[in-house]
Structure 1
Amino acid sequence: MKSRKDNGSMPNAHLHELFVDELRDVLGAEKQLLKGLKKMADKAVGQSLKDAFASHYTETEEQIDRLKQVFASIDLTARGKKCKAMEGLLNEAEEIMEEFEGDEALDAALIAAAQKVEHYEIATYGCLVTYATLMEHEEARGLLQTTLDQEKETDSKLTEIAMSESNVAA
């Protein structure tokens, strides 16, 4: 069911503005993340972690395209806004990169920073899936669920690298 100017005919229409605001926020967040992932990949020491960041960069580009499809599915133009949460998480990642540069614990610190980002994204996409479900935006729900699943998989991959390589080496 698509969004209408008369939101009163949409199930749970009271969530519509929140849904759109969160979509704009996460679109901005994903665009901000592209820059952060590039920096983290450049700083990472272990090849597995470099590869994971590079892979997530490509996934993030796909997620941005998917968000544009979500906007189109509810008859809106995709427009992001600056995400203050992502800005803070990426600033913290920058500090970690500076503080631990050349340190054995650098990759472990990068994984910790990246997982904070992933957990933020998992929380955001989880809420968006719920809102889309409640408003019966089925196409949007499916697209957002795909991204949520990818974010959870990335988090698991980072944990695996941490437990098998980075944390052990540190």
Structure 2
Amino acid sequence: MKNNNGKNEEMPNAALHELFVEQLRDVLGAERQLLKGLKKMSAAAVNPELIEAFKSHHDQTEGQIENLKQVFDSIGLTARGKKCKAMQGLLDEAEEIIEEFEDNEALDAALIGAAQKVEHYEIATYGCLVTYAKLMGHTESENLLQEILDQEKETDILLTEIAMSGVNAVGS
């Protein structure tokens, strides 16, 4: 049913719900794209701690994809992702870094920078999704998305710790 402003009144926050679903599809696609990117970054890295962090985040990302499927299920939709242009750009940049720095002692530092750009994109995205879920009263979705958001923040902190433990001190 439309009101005088031409807006759908059948569902509270219908426009926000539409945005929520669109962003869920985008981030599901992003996480699937990231799986391939993490394999490439892991293969290119030199520092054993960084290699392990990339491998661990790959496994974690697989779990996040399962959580996203549960989010879709909790709102009565089939999980369907779409290609995320932002993630594609971030992963293209990571590939350029690998090519440019493959024989350079700053490769791991550059990879950490590329990975943290990905994490910050994910943190921003999941932060918005948690807020949308909360505003719409999607408690199950909110909890699942908060769990992913917390994991992304932990990964960002871990990458900083690896960088500060010596990876960024190349040539010192």
Give the TM-score band, short-chain normalised. over 0.9
- Displacement after TM superposition at 1:168 (Å): 1.4
Q: Where does the alignment leave 5 or more consecutive residues of structure 1 unmatched?
A: 1-6
Q: What TM-score, normalized to structure 2?
A: 0.93
User: Which position in structure 2 is the counterpart of 1:103?
Assistant: 104
Alignment partners' CA distance in 2, 1:11 and 1:49: 45
Partner of residue 52, structure 1: 53
> Any idea what the Cα deviations from partners look like across 1:128-162, whole Å, max 9, x if unmatched?
00000000000000000000000000000000000
1:123 aligns with 2:136: no
Q: What TM-score do the two structures reach when normalised by structure 1?
A: 0.94
* Separation in structure 1 between the aligned mates of residue 74 and residue 170 of structure 2, nearest angstrom: 46
Paired position in structure 1 for 2:5: none
Q: Is the 1:86–1:117 contact (alpha carbons within 8 Å) kept by the matching residues of 2?
A: yes
- Give the secondary structure class of the aligned counterpart of 2:169: helix
1:11-160 correspondence runs (5 A):
11-160=12-161
Tell me the secondary structure at the aligned position of residue 55 of structure 1: helix
2:168 aligned counterpart, secondary structure: helix
Q: Aligned partners of 1:10 and 1:106: how far apart in 2? A: 50
**Contact 1:11 1:134 survives alignment (8 Å):** no
Q: Which amino acid aligns with 1:81?
A: K
Compare CA radii of gyration and give the structure with the larger one. 2
Contact 1:125/1:148 (8 A) holds in 2:
yes
Deviation beyond 6 Å, 4+ runs, structure 1: none
- Give distance in 1, aligned partners of 2:153 and 2:9: 34
Percent identity between the aligned chains? 73
- Could you tell me how far apart the structure 1 residues matched to 2:10 and 2:114 are? 43
Aligned counterparts of 1:9 and 1:152: Cα–Cα separation in 2: 36
Aligned residues: 164
Q: Partners of 2:104 and 2:21 in 1: how far apart?
A: 42
Larger RCO: 1 or 2 (CA < 8 Å, sep 6+): 1
